[in-house]
């Protein structure tokens, strides 16, 4: 597709180029013919100014159009693609990732809640936020929809670290006023929602940060808290505030919800009853979903986070991709790592598990579909598809660079893969941890595996001016 480039801003920053194989999506390959879904340039370039992409296309042709484009990072044998989008992850669970598994509810009580209670301590929260961001950037993830926990400290620590990198992130205070230990439990529904609103006013649209109203899941909120959370969400939905929660993850969880909310038709209806199901709602898991619920998720424009590593680890249910993507009522689906239920921070590794979960249902997810889910699909689930998740003029310049030679063996194996999607399928299926070699956030290379200082904050970069 021929894009209309953005004009150069003569008073803006110096131009930056990222050159190599470039892959980007413009439509959903689960719904639209494959040829109309993506652009791929064997020698492509992304041109960036002021943190935004101003042009994308064939390398030689575009370089000729920009005589002032001097600063170009060139990658051989790598794929330049939009930064990955993690639609559901708990940063506060990084300290307990890979704790011995059990069913969801036992695992929450035994490992998760005691860890989250530690986040009342701001120093602890700061330390974990720092580690978490490094993990994300190392894996090429540039946007995430993130659970903190009930303490305001956990929210401030998260957003402050995000501001240092200038990443586009979504988070908020987790609301939970019952069925959790006292040291995590909100003192009252009213107070908890007031704290959430205070944090919303502080963080929503501050730089690239976005706020979500986050009832943990129906069983850990009283009806009063869900009601007030729904009202808060509805008051701010037109300003782009999100609602983020868990839905239909495991059998025993669904049974529990039925007992706690006997008047509602199903789990989705519980959230809907309280005004929590709407066009900026993101539901994690959705493994065991009734047809009426899919219809509601479609009608409301909700996003769904598919978290296969976590679902397999906790023995939940199997996400039904082909139900979610039924053509007469498709649902927006992105990928989630769900750390610490998930066992790693890598979106490509989750793609490999998504493939296997799908194969158990006799459907396959090829690399074309998989990397759509990792990028533009995630942006669609978060209603950010005009902002991030694609490499095109006007988009924020968040980029991952995947090497096609992560190991000697992978390099050898690639010789037998023909086109780019065969190579990407090998990459995701081998599931190696070091496939991402560089990550750009708003045009700055904040992670570079080869650099002496692999991680850099936005303030570590000089402000260079355009000289036309
Ligand atoms: N449901 C409610 N809380 C959680 C959580 O922390 N992790 C997962 N996987 N499911 C949940
Ligand atoms: Zn979760």
The number of C-alpha atoms within 13 Å of 159 and in the hemisphere containing its C-beta is 23
> The dihedral of CA 361, 365, 369, 372: what is its sign?
positive
Question: In angstroms, rounded to a whole number, what is the distance separating the alpha carbons of residues 222 and 190?
Answer: 11
Ligand 1 centre and the CA of 224: distance in Å? Answer: 21
Which helix (H) or strand (E) segment holds residue 408: the answer is helix 408-414
| Contact assessment for residue 144 and residue 86, using Cβ atoms and an 8 Å cutoff | yes
Q: Are strands 71-82 and 174-175 parallel, antiparallel or unpaired?
A: unpaired
Pocket (CB within 6 angstroms of ligand 1) = 90, 104, 108, 112, 216-217, 246, 249, 310, 338, 341
Parallel, antiparallel or unpaired: strands 141-147 and 281-285: unpaired
Lookup: tokens for 208: 């690239």
Pairing type for strands 436-441 and 399-403 reads antiparallel
Helices of type H across 150-222:
152-165, 189-203
In angstroms, the CA 383 to CA 302 distance is 9
Q: How far is the CA of 95 from the centre of ligand 2 (A)?
A: 15
What confidence tens digit (pLDDT) does each residue in 340-392 have? 999 999 999 999 999 999 999 999 999 999 999 999 999 999 999 999 999 99
From 433, 331, 443, 463, select the one nearest 391 (Cα to Cα).
443
Q: Give the CB-side neighbour count of residue 280, counting CA atoms within 13 A.
A: 21
Distance between CA atoms of 246 and 316, rounded to whole angstroms? 13
So what CATH class is 16-83+389-460?
Answer: mainly beta
* 145 CA → ligand 1 middle, Å: 14
Ligand nearest to the CA of 284: 2
Closest CA to 366 of 303, 419, 433: 419
Nearest CA-CA partner of 171 in 204, 142, 192, 147: 147
Distance 90 CA to ligand 1 centre (A): 9
Q: Which ligand is nearest to the CA of 249?
A: 1
Instruction: Per residue of the chain (468 residues), give pLDDT as tens.
Output: 567 999 999 999 999 999 999 999 999 999 999 999 999 999 999 999 999 999 999 999 999 999 999 999 999 999 999 999 999 999 999 999 999 877 899 999 999 999 999 999 999 999 999 999 999 999 999 999 999 999 999 999 999 999 999 999 999 999 999 999 999 999 999 999 999 999 999 999 999 999 999 999 999 999 999 999 999 999 999 999 999 999 999 999 999 999 999 999 999 999 999 999 999 999 999 999 999 999 999 999 999 999 999 999 999 999 999 999 999 999 999 999 999 999 999 999 999 999 999 999 999 999 999 999 999 999 999 999 999 999 999 999 999 999 999 999 999 999 999 999 999 999 999 988 889 999 999 999 999 999 999 999 999 999 999 987
Q: What's the gap in Å between 194 CA and the centre of ligand 2?
A: 23
Q: Which of 465, 414, 461 is nearest to 79 (CA)?
A: 414
Q: Positive or negative, the Cα torsion across 298, 302, 306, 312?
A: negative
**pTM score, two decimals?**
0.98
Ligand 1: residue whose CA is nearest its atom 11: 246
Q: Considering the domain 84-381 in this protein, what is its CATH number?
A: 3.20.20.140
List the residue whose alpha carbon is closest to atom 9 of ligand 1: 341
Domain range annotation of the chain = 16-83+389-460, 84-381
**pLDDT at residue number 2:** 60
How far apart CA 5 and CA 96 sit, in angstroms, is 46
Nearest atom, ligand 1, residue 314 CA: 9
pLDDT at 103: 87
Closest ligand, as measured to the CA of 113:
1
Residue identified by tokens 């992670």 is: 447
Closest CA to 393 of 1, 80, 42: 1
In angstroms, what is the span from residue 180 Cα to ligand 1's centroid?
12
Q: Whose CA is nearest to atom 8 of ligand 1?
A: 341
Q: What are the pLDDT digits (tens) for 48-105?
A: 999 999 999 999 999 999 999 999 999 999 999 999 999 999 999 999 999 987 789 9
């Amino acid at each position: 597709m021929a894009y209309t480039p953005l004009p150069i801003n003569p008073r803006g920053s110096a131009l930056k180029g990222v050159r190599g194989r470039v892959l980007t999506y413009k439509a959903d390959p689960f719904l639209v013919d494959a040829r109309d879904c993506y652009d791929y340039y064997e020698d492509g370039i992304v041109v960036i100014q002021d943190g935004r992409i101003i042009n994308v296309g064939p390398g030689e042709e575009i370089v000729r159009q920009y005589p002032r484009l001097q600063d170009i990072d060139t990658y051989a044998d790598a794929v330049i693609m939009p930064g990955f989008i993690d639609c559901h992850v708990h940063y506060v669970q990084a300290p307990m990732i890979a704790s011995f598994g059990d069913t969801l509810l036992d695992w929450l009580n035994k490992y998760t809640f005691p860890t989250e209670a530690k986040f009342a301590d701001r120093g602890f929260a700061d330390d974990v936020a720092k580690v978490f961001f490094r993990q994300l950037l190392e894996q090429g993830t540039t946007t995430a929809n993130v659970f903190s926990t009930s303490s305001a400290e956990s929210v401030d620590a998260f957003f402050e670290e995000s501001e240092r990198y200038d990443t586009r992130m979504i988070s908020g205070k987790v609301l939970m006023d019952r069925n959790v230990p006292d040291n995590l439990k909100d003192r009252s529904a009213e107070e908890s929602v007031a704290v959430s609103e205070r944090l919303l006013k502080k963080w929503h649209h501050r730089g690239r940060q976005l706020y979500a109203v986050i009832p943990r899941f129906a069983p850990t909120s009283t009806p009063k808290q869900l009601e007030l959370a729904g009202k808060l969400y509805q008051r701010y939905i037109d300003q782009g505030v999100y609602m983020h929660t868990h839905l239909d993850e495991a059998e025993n969880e669904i049974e529990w919800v039925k007992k706690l909310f006997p008047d509602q038709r199903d789990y989705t209806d519980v959230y809907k009853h309280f005004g929590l199901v709407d066009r900026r709602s993101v539901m994690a898991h959705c493994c065991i979903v009734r047809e009426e619920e899919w219809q509601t998720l479609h009608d409301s424009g909700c996003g769904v986070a598919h978290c296969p590593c976590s679902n397999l680890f906790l023995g939940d249910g199997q996400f039904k991709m082909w139900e979610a993507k039924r053509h007469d009522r498709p649902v927006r689906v992105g990928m989630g790592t769900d750390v610490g239920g998930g066992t790693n921070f890598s979106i490509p590794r989750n793609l490999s598990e998504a493939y296997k979960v799908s194969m158990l249902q006799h459907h396959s997810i090829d690399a074309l579909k998989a990397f759509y889910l990792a990028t533009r699909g995630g942006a669609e689930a978060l209603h950010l598809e005009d902002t991030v998740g694609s490499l095109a003029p006007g988009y924020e310049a968040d980029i991952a660079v995947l090497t096609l030679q992560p190991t000697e063996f992978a390099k050898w194996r690639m010789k037998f893969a023909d086109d780019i999607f065969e190579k990407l399928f090998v990459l995701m299926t081998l599931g190696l941890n070091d496939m991402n070699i560089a990550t750009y956030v708003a045009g700055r290379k904040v992670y570079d595996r080869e650099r002496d200082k692999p991680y850099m904050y936005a303030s570590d970069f000089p402000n260079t001016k355009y000289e036309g």
